[in-house]
């Protein structure tokens, strides 16, 4: 699910691979030119853009000992990968705020319609619930807008190069 989620968020990553690599000095120099502290290497190498090959291996069952990588560490790893390469979760908050706000408006119109043309509405319910939904939706939307700015700042602070020059031809 992690790799599919990253792909959905627009991150180029090789499915289910390990962090073992054989690289040239040129690739290592380019990787070291990135000023980021939290490097998510599984997505950094495709981002650099040099030619690469995949070597497949048969993974055998562990015969001795226990894995030192429990489930909570896997979730931390996934969270690190998602937050290092995507601002989509921040956009999700913005969209959620818009949806809650629009649903509260629809609910307001429905309540007014029922008040004048129907029966069965509890007195005082609409005047309490609708403002809560409206303000909740506006609050979530506002947090999403602030998140959009933070996402832009986050991308700028990383200062990733826009391109890497492979060779100069005179």
Q: What is the structure's pLDDT at 149? A: 92
pLDDT score of 27: 87
Contacts 24+ apart (CB under 8 A), 153-157: 154/87, 155/87
Looking at residue 121, its pLDDT comes to 67
Task: Mark the ranges of the chain whose per-residue pLDDT is less than 70.
Answer: 120-121
What is the 8-class DSSP label of residue 159? T
Q: What sign for the dihedral angle of Cα 89, 95, 97, 99?
A: negative
pLDDT tens, 21-69? 888 898 888 888 888 877 788 888 888 888 888 888 887 888 887 877 7
pLDDT of residue 133: 84
CA distance 1 to 30: 30
Place of tokens 């649903």: 103
Contact 90, 113 (CB under 8 A): no
């Amino acid at each position: 699910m992690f790799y599919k989620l990253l792909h959905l968020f627009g991150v180029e990553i090789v499915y289910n691979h390990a962090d073992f690599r054989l690289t040239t000095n040129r690739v290592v120099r380019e990787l070291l030119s990135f000023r980021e502290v939290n490097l998510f290497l599984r997505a950094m190498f495709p981002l650099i853009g040099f030619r690469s090959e995949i070597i497949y291996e048969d993974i055998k069952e562990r015969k001795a000992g226990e894995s030192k990588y429990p489930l909570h560490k896997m979730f931390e790893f996934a969270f690190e990968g998602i937050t290092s390469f995507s601002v989509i979760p921040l956009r999700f908050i913005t969209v959620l705020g818009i949806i809650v706000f629009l649903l509260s408006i629809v609910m307001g119109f429905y309540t007014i319609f029922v008040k004048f043309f129907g029966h069965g509405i509890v007195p005082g319910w609409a005047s309490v619930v609708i403002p809560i939904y409206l303000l909740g939706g506006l609050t979530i939307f506002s947090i999403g807008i602030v998140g959009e700015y933070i996402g832009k700042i986050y991308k700028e602070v990383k200062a990733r190069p826009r391109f890497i020059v492979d060779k100069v031809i005179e």
